[in-house]
Amino acid sequence: MEIMKKISRISIFGGTGYTGVELIRLLLSHPYVEIYQITSRKDKGKRVDEVYPSFRGMLNNKFVSPEDADLENVDIVFFATPNGIAMNYADNLISNGKIVIDLAADFRIKDKGVWEKWYGMEHKSPNLIDKAVYGLPEINRDSIKKAKLIANPGCYPTAIQLALIPLLKKKLINPISIIADAKSGISGAGKNLELKLLMSEAEEDFRAYGIAGHRHLPEIEENLANICGDEVKLTFIPHLVPMIRGIHATIYVDCIENFNAEEIFESFYKEEPFVDIMPADMPPNTKSVRASNFCRISFHKEKASNRLIIFSVIDNLMKGAAGQAVQNMNIMMDWQESTGINLVPITP
């Protein structure tokens, strides 16, 4: 007979952006949590399902202003806010025994100077940077179990790191000549009023962007170096795809010795519920993971060179944001890791 799980109270800071909405979708079906409050400065006082009619019939919450948020009677606080918000709340929350999961970037980079340079602001909780655990469960599951503060990884970093770690750890590839040609659906740019995000602009268009330097680059390089023990250098070129969800990374690496990539990855991820290693030369498509928490990875080895091409796909709002955040919560709370996120991809 199953032991009744205590229902934990959830607070979502920043419930109007796309990661916040996806979090609500997931938590609504999660058996051990209650969505206790959702903040929004702009929409405070409104019913959430007035702003998002897709929640009609499933959610009774109203948005509360962050200033009016109840920080006492909650157990778990998610920040689906812009960068630079969670760092103002985390210390107080953790001191009061709450669990904090930041879906933004405040605690993703350990080097404070690097973080401040790329994010253009002073870090308000430098003392917490080292306490924060980088929430990539496939790598840091044991630390996540004991953590109180999770830095939920970025979407590109999740897709790219999962595709590189098994090889870098075994020192099978040159760590400083990696190329990640990455492509993202437009929801990755958030629910922001920018011209380039208008449908008349983005539909029927494809382009590179952020080439002078994307904030996910230092996150990838620092974490890969920490995990693998070597300096890692990437050429990282992101592109915007005329679709809503999905990240596809095409990664070019130089092999130092001969190996069977499929075997190495299969072995490395064999216990992982959300990483799927596909047969070589059968590249994954983003729709095969849409609205699910899976990452699918495949390979192509060039015959006449030492070059290996790795393909990695995720849903940027799921394994790249809200899905991974719930996965981290489940681990921290000692619930079955796939609770509430064991969703079948939507097709077609």
Q: What is the contact mask toward a copy of itself in residues 201 to 220, using x (rule: CB under 8 A)?
A: xxxxxxxxx-xx--------
Residues between 231 and 260 with contacts to a copy of itself, criterion CB under 8 A: 233, 235, 237, 239, 241-246, 248, 250, 252
Q: What is the contact mask toward a copy of itself in residues 146 to 185, using x (rule: CB under 8 A)?
A: ---------------------------------x-x-x-x
Query: Please, what is the minimum distance in Å from the beta carbon of residue 335 to a copy of itself?
Result: 17
- Residue written as tokens 């994010």? 119
DSSP structure class, residue 62: B
Quote the CA–CA distance of 39 and 46 in Å, as a whole number. Answer: 10
Count residues near a copy of itself (CB under 8 A): 83
Compare residues 18 and 268 and give the one whose CB is closer to a copy of itself: 18
Residues between 15 and 34 with contacts to a copy of itself, criterion CB under 8 A: 18, 21, 24-25, 28-29
Residues between 88 and 127 with contacts to a copy of itself, criterion CB under 8 A: none
Interface residue with a copy of itself among 5, 122, 226, 346 (CB under 8 A) is 346
Residue 249's SS3 state is: strand
Residue 155 annotated as catalytic: yes
- Residue written as tokens 């681990």? 331
Quote the CA–CA distance of 154 and 72 in Å, as a whole number. Answer: 29
Nearest to 134, CA basis, from 114, 169, 161, 116: 161
Please identify, among the stretches 31-39, 73-81, 107-115, 271-279, the one whose residues bind a copy of itself according to the rule CB under 8 A.
Answer: 271-279
Nearest to 9, CA basis, from 29, 21, 27: 27
DSSP symbols for 240-264? E-SSSS-EEEEEEEEBSS---HHHH
Interface residue with a copy of itself among 126, 263, 302, 336 (CB under 8 A) is 302
Task: Let me know: does 109 contact 219? Beta carbons within 8 Å.
Answer: yes
